[in-house]
């Protein structure tokens, strides 16, 4: 058996395996509590596309200035995004309290069977 040929075949198999695997990325969609309906739909469409591609989606809701006085508005916006992607994704992680000036939820695509 030729050692060089064997090593070449092994490298070729490893290269093919790397080419066929899919790396999961974490994509991010940023929102604000007062994001308008049309802008929300655009961000929702982007998040749905990321999920269909098999990537994780981090939904970040940022508060600025006086928006921190009404955190329930931001929580409602985040809930609306999670509910709109309910058919494609499940919530992997979610912060229920405001960390600094941010609310974060990480969505992962549901396993297709």
CATH code linked to domain 23-109: 3.30.110.10
What residues form DSSP beta bridges with 108? 90
N-term to C-term CA, the chain = 43
Report pLDDT digits (tens) over 41-85.
Answer: 999 999 999 999 889 999 999 999 898 898 889 999 999 999 999
Q: Domain boundaries in the chain?
A: 23-109
d(CA 100, CA 113): 39
List, for residues 5-43, the tens digit of each pLDDT value. 999 999 999 998 888 777 778 999 999 999 899 999 999
Q: What is the pTM of this model?
A: 0.74
């Amino acid at each position: 058996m030729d050692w060089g040929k064997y090593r070449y075949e092994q490298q070729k198999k490893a290269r093919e395996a790397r080419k066929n695997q899919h790396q999961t990325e974490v994509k991010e969609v940023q929102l604000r509590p007062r994001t308008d309906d049309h802008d929300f739909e655009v961000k929702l469409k982007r998040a749905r596309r990321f999920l269909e591609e098999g990537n994780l989606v981090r939904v970040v809701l940022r508060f600025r200035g006086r928006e921190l006085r009404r955190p329930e508005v931001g929580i409602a916006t985040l809930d609306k995004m999670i509910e709109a992607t309910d058919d494609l994704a499940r919530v992997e992680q979610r912060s229920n309290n405001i960390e600094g000036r941010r609310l974060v939820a990480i969505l992962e695509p549901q396993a297709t069977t």
